[in-house]
Amino acid sequence: MDAKEILKQHIAKTAALTDEQFDYVFSHFKPRSYKKGQVVISEGSRVDHEYFVVSGCLKAFFVNDEIKMYILQFAMPTWWSSDYGALYNQTQATINIDCITDAEVLCLSNDDREKICSELHPVEHFFRWRTNRGYLASQKRLLSFMNNDTRARYEELLALYPQLYNLVPKHLIAAYLGVSRETLSRLYNTHK
């Protein structure tokens, strides 16, 4: 299935667009390929686009004092990623995004998103729902952070994304869970 079809089916779950409408919407997306390790957004830079992942896996992360890294999101196929704070407010990026694996994405500029949202009501509807899902996921993760200990969060993560365990290095999983790599290592070796 090609990028266009993947995006089409993704949007169709939330908004009913005619083929002509979708073609018009799609014309605002720019396909792009990245190699493993390539940087998509780096802290301090200007942010113009958001990214729809077609294949591969990105990570969005924050680096504190150039020492500790915290992963905000692993972006898998059909996920969207960007520094939305910087994108919406037209400020410098405060987070980084790069590629854990080779990846194909579809790029949509902030201006084009606002343009197609204002031109087509169903597109605005789609983006409202997409944002809403992101909000709910973020709330859930926050709650999990407060409520669960590290082991529970680790198991929750693997239950949610079984692929992740083999796909990404363990120190990145630790950075997502917000614990040191040593603690994570001890956690799943002291099994049970």
Partner DNA sequence: GGCGTTACGTGATGTAAATCACTTTCGAAA
Partner DNA sequence: TTTCGAAAGTGATTTACATCACGTAACGCC
> Footprint of DNA on this chain (CB under 7 A)?
68, 149-151, 169-171, 178-187, 189
Q: Is 24 in the site for a second copy (CB under 8 A)?
A: no
Asked whether 85 and 60 are in contact (CB, 8 A), the reply is: no
Q: Name the phi and psi angles at 64, rounded to 5.
A: -95, 125
Asked whether 34 and 101 are in contact (CB, 8 A), the reply is: no
Minimum CB separation from a second copy for residue 20, in Å? 19
With respect to a second copy, which residue has the nearer C-beta, 38 or 91? Answer: 91
Q: Is 121 in the site for a second copy (CB under 8 A)?
A: yes
Among the listed residues 172, 7, 33, the one whose alpha carbon sits nearest the alpha carbon of residue 103: 33
With respect to DNA, which residue has the nearer C-beta, 135 or 165? Answer: 165
Can you tell me the distance from the alpha carbon of 89 to that of 33, in angstroms, rounded to the nearest whole number?
27
Minimum CB separation from a second copy for residue 141, in Å? 6
Can you tell me the distance from the alpha carbon of 115 to that of 118, in angstroms, rounded to the nearest whole number?
5
Minimum CB separation from a second copy for residue 181, in Å? 15
Q: Locate tokens 């997502």: which residue?
A: 176
34-73: contacts with a second copy (CB under 8 A): 62, 64, 68, 70, 72
Minimum CB separation from a second copy for residue 147, in Å? 5
